[in-house]
Amino acid sequence: MTEALERAVVPPVSDADPFAHEVLLDPEPLHQALREAGPVVYLSRYDVHALARYEQVHAALVDWQRFESGSGVGLANFRHEKPWRPPSLLLEADPPRHDAPRRILREILAPPALRRLRASWAAVAEELVDQVLAEGTEFDAFTALAEAFPLRAFPDAVGLGPDGRENLLPYGNMAFNAFGPRNDLVAADAHRTAELSAWVNAQCRREALSEDGFGAQIWAAADRGDLTYEQAPLVVRSLLTAGVDTTVHGLAACLYAFATHPGEWQRLRDRPELARAAFDEAVRWQSPVQTFFRTATTDVTIAGTIVPKDTKILMFLGAANRDPDRWHDPDRFDLTRDPSGHVGFGMGLHQCVGQHVARLEAEALLTALADRIERIELAGTPHRHPNNTLRSWASLPLRVQPTA
Amino acid sequence: MPGNAATLTVSVKEDVAEGVVSLTLARPDGARLPDWTPGSHIDLVLPEGTTRQYSLCGDRWDAHTYRIAVLREPAGRGGSAYVHDRLRPGDRVGVGGPRNHFPLVPSEKYLFIAGGIGITPLLPMVRQAELLGADWQLLYGGRTRASMAFREELTEAYGERVHVVPQDELGLLDLATWLGTPRPDTKVYCCGPAPLLAAVEAACAAWPPYALRVERFTSAAQTAPVRDTPFEVELRRTGRTVTVTPEVSVLDAVRRAGADVLSSCEQGTCGTCLTPVLEGQPDHRDSVLADHERAANDCMFLCVSRSCGDRLVLDL
C-alpha cells in the first residue's frame, strides 16, 4: 500500500462542467480535452474521477467487481443519498441481486426470441414511411420518424395499453436527467415527477399489460418463481425507462448521420443489409447515452491514479467511442468501418439488455427508408435538446427525394 | 485448441477429496474471463478431443479464474481419467460457455441437496444465499467422509447450516424428514446421481410447482467430440468459401474473407454476432442459446461457436 501510494499519479484536474448546457449540446470539445489530459481526470466541480479514453472506459465497464452499480449509475451515491425512485433492479444493482432480473430480460429480449417481431416491425416501418412521404418531402424527421416509429413498435411489443403513451418520452427524459447533478434540467422536470412516475408504475401492473407482450412474459417468470412478484413490475419499469428515449435518439442520430453524409446513404441503398451495422456506427458516432457513473468498491488504481473506495467514477461513453487510439478517423461516420466493440451500449454485465430490440427497430426503419428514398439532406438547422445523460434532439428538419 | 478466447491454461490442479481433483483455469494472457452465475457449467474440451461439462464451483468475484472439480469415473468414457492421470498445470484446454441451466432464483429460504460430486454447482449457490441473507440449509450426502469434496470448508464457513451425511456412517439422506412437509417459502436445489434426483423428485411430489430445481449430470450423453482439424465455411451470399483453422475464430475467418459481421463482447455472451446457418451442424459454444435453439441448427454465434462437420454454410 505504501509503495502504491508513493507511486500514485496525481491526475490532472479539470473544473469543466460536463452537465452545462453548452457542453451537453456540443460535448466533443470537452471529450477531446479530457482524453488528451490523461487516462484519469479529476473533475473538481463534482469531486469525481472521470474516464474518457476507450481503454479505461471499457475496462471499468466490464469490471463490475470493483466498479459497482448498486450505489447508483448517476452522480448521486445511494450509500449516502436517497434515490429519487426505488432503484432499478438491473441498471442500479449488482450481483447477486442483479442475476435473476437480468436473466429473465436477457431471455425475453434475446435475438432468437425477437424473430417473431421482425416481419411485423418491417410492416409498421413501411406503413409509417409511406404515410410520412404521402404528406410531403420536407418534414421534421425527429418527430415524424425517430419518435414515431419506436412509439408505434415498442409499446405494443411490451404490451402497453393505448392510453397515455405520450408520457413515455417525458418520463425517460426525466429519468436520464436524474443521473446528472441536480441542475436546472432536473428542476425543470420536478413538477411532473409524481404524475409521470405514477403513470409508469400503473402500466407495470399485470392487469395493465396485454397477454402476449414482453411485460406479460416478465409476469409469467414471476409465476414460475424465477422472479418475485415484487420484482416483476420493476423489471417492466426498466423496459419502459430504458427502452424508448434511447432508441428514439439513436434513430435520430442515424437519420442525422445520413442527412449529413450523402455518400453513406448511397452505400446503404446499394447494400441494405448494412442497416444493422449502420445503426451501430451511428450509436458509436453520436453515443445516445453519453455517460454513466460507477462507484469504486475498493481503492482502485487506474493508470497509476488511486480512485478511493466509495467514490464516484464518471465514464464518458461518447468520448471513448471517438478515441483516436481505438478508432481510425473517429469523427467520421463511415459505413465501411467495423463499429464492433463500441461502448455506446455499455459493455459487460450491464451491457444494454435491449440492444437487439433497438437494432431490430433500426433495421426495420432504415430498410424501409432505403427502399423508398433516393436522397436525404438537411432542410434546416437541427436542434438538440439538452439532457444530463442523453445526446438528444428537439428537431431534425429533412428534405428527401423519394425513389422514382 | 479452438478459438483464442476459448483456450485456457490449467493453473492449479489439486486433490480435494478421494477421487476428486479440482482444476483452476485462467486465460494465458491473464485477462478477464466471461462472467458467470451460480449453477453455470462450462464445456471442457480436453487435448485429446473429448468434451465434458463441469459446474463452476469457484468465486465469481475473481474474474480471472474458473474452478471446477472432477470426479474420477471408472465407468466413464475417459474424460475424467484424462483429467486425473494426464492433465497437468500449464496444459491448455478448450472451454465453451459458461451456460446456466440451473440458476438460483430469488427465495427467502433454500434447501440445497447434494449427492457426491453434485456439490459443485451448489457450492457457489450457498455462498450466494449467504450473501443475500437468505435462510438456507445444505444436506450433503456422499459415500464416505473422505470422498466428499469441500466438506471441511463448508462446515468451517457455515457451521450448522451444513448437514454432512456420509453413507457409510449415517446411511442415506433422510429425505422423508427434510422434504415430507411442503414449504411454500422454500426452493429446493438438488444435484447428484440419478437415483438421488429421482428420490428427491418423488419426495417433492406434493410441493408447489417450480419449488424443486435439479441439475442432471449427463455423463452418459455427451456432446460430439470437438474437431481439431480445419473446416470450410461457405458464405452463400458473398459466394466465397473460407477455411477455418483451429487457432482462428469463425468470426475472424469470415471477416478476413470480406464479410461484414457486427459483434460486441466476442465472448459468446452478448448475442450480437448471431448469424443464420443454412447448412451444416454448428458446434455451439456460446452462453446465450437455449438447448432447443441449439438443436435447430439454424443460427450460431460466430465469435465462439464452430463446426461439428467438415462444412458450414452461412447466410453471409
Q: What are the structural domain ranges in chain B?
A: 7-98, 109-216, 231-314
Q: Is B133 on the interface with A (CB under 8 A)?
A: no
**Interchain contact, A103 vs B37, CB within 8 Å:** yes
Interface with chain A: mutation pick from B40, B262, B277, B284, highest number of A CBs within 10 Å: B262
> Among the listed ranges A244-248, A397-401, B27-31, B72-76, which one has the minimum average pLDDT value?
B72-76
Tell me the per-residue pLDDT of A196-224, one tens digit each, with 9 for 90 and over. 999 999 999 999 999 999 999 999 999 99
Q: Report the percent of chain B where pLDDT is more than 90.
A: 79
Read off the amino acid at residue A255: L
Output B294 or A109, whichever has higher pLDDT.
A109
How many domains is chain A built from?
1
User: How high is the mean pLDDT of chain A?
Assistant: 96
The class (CATH top level) of B109-216 is: alpha beta
pLDDT of B78 reads: 79
Of A112, A228, A356, the CB nearest to B289: A112
The CA distance from B199 to B176, in Å, is 10
Write out chain B residues lying below 8 Å of A340, CB-based: 261-264, 266, 272
Cell numbers 419499469 correspond to A237
Q: Which domain holds residue A395?
A: 2-402
**Interchain contact, B263 vs A100, CB within 8 Å:** no
pLDDT of B210 reads: 94
**Interchain contact, A349 vs B35, CB within 8 Å:** yes
Q: Is A228 on the interface with B (CB under 8 A)?
A: yes
> Among the listed ranges A104-108, A265-269, A344-348, B95-99, which one has the minimum average pLDDT value?
B95-99
Q: Span B231-314: which CATH code?
A: 3.10.20.30
**Interchain contact, B103 vs A226, CB within 8 Å:** yes
Compare all CA atoms of chain A with the CA of B263 and give the residue at the minimum distance: A340
**Interchain contact, A339 vs B131, CB within 8 Å:** no
CATH number, position A137:
1.10.630.10
Of B103, B128, B271, the CB nearest to A110: B271
pLDDT of B234 reads: 96
The whole-number average pLDDT for the span A81-92 is: 96
pLDDT of A30 reads: 98
CATH of B7-98 given 2.40.30.10, 2.170.190.11, 3.40.605.10, 3.40.50.2000: 2.40.30.10
Interface with chain B: mutation pick from A99, A104, A264, highest number of B CBs within 10 Å: A99
